[in-house]
Amino acid sequence: MGVLNVTPDSFSGDGTGDDLQRAVDLALSFEDDGADIIDIGGESSRPKSVYKDARPVPSEEESRRVIPVIEALYGRLGIPISIDTQKSTVANLAVMSGASMVNDVSMLGTDSGMADVIAGLGVPLIINHTRTRALYPSGVVAEVIEDLCRAAKLVEHAGLPPSKVILDPGIGFGKTAEQSIDMQRGLSKLVDLGYPVLIGTSRKSSIGKVLGLPADQRNEGTAATVALAIERGADIVRVHNVKEMVRVARMSDAIVRGWSPKT
């Protein structure tokens, strides 16, 4: 999954802002580089505890950013478009415009109507784990699994089939660097639930803490986390540097899931 931030304030410094052509060109290049999904987001998820100027984006502004990009890409991309949003109104507009899955980084916690809207649309939903405070008295892996199961049941009760629920442990979301690393170490326990699992470690602060590097110098650290996530059973890896991480993923898949020649 290639990350396409159409924001002016992405934590990783790769937001395209209002440059529609740049966003379209980047998405098409991701496909050429081997991406299987493009994840388009119009609101930065950078934490307020780190970025003091981080502010919620109104749904109208978020839609203004993402909908033209989705419309411009629909029919040109040969791979699915995912909309990264916490708002049901934006999710609905995005799907109507050509997106075919939704990525909610709030774990259905921002918009109480999200579960019903997604169930009505019938599209796959990525549920990203998050907490307002990094407190896990019973252990981060056990509590992340408990929280995600609860959120999954909520959307399933609304009518979305379990086969369309994708779980994301939320690396860096309401977790210290140590907790994020512990979650990656225990990822196979989340995989054991039977849901498809997505993991997004690309350029995350836990990599920066281990290596002592800024976001734009964390590619090797990202590669290590991608390879190990695949070894532990992850089905989707969400990344910024698509060309390099496609190669890491294919090599990891060859070892873990069996090699076949690339045609």
Percent of the chain with pLDDT over 70: 92
Q: How high is the pLDDT of residue 87?
A: 97
In the structure, what pLDDT confidence band is assigned to residue 52 with cuts at 50, 70 and 90? very low
Mean pLDDT across the chain: 93
In the structure, what pLDDT confidence band is assigned to residue 9 with cuts at 50, 70 and 90? low
Does the CA dihedral 58-45-105-37 come out positive or negative? positive
Domain 2-256 has CATH 3.20.20.20: yes
Cα separation, 6 vs 65, in Å, equals 6
Give me the active site residues, please.
Answer: 204, 238
Model pTM? 0.92
Cα separation, 208 vs 108, in Å, equals 28
Instruction: State yes or no: pLDDT of 10 exceeds 60.
Output: no
In the structure, what pLDDT confidence band is assigned to residue 50 with cuts at 50, 70 and 90? very low
In the structure, what pLDDT confidence band is assigned to residue 195 with cuts at 50, 70 and 90? very high
Ranking 4-13, 66-75, 154-163 by mean pLDDT, the lowest is 4-13
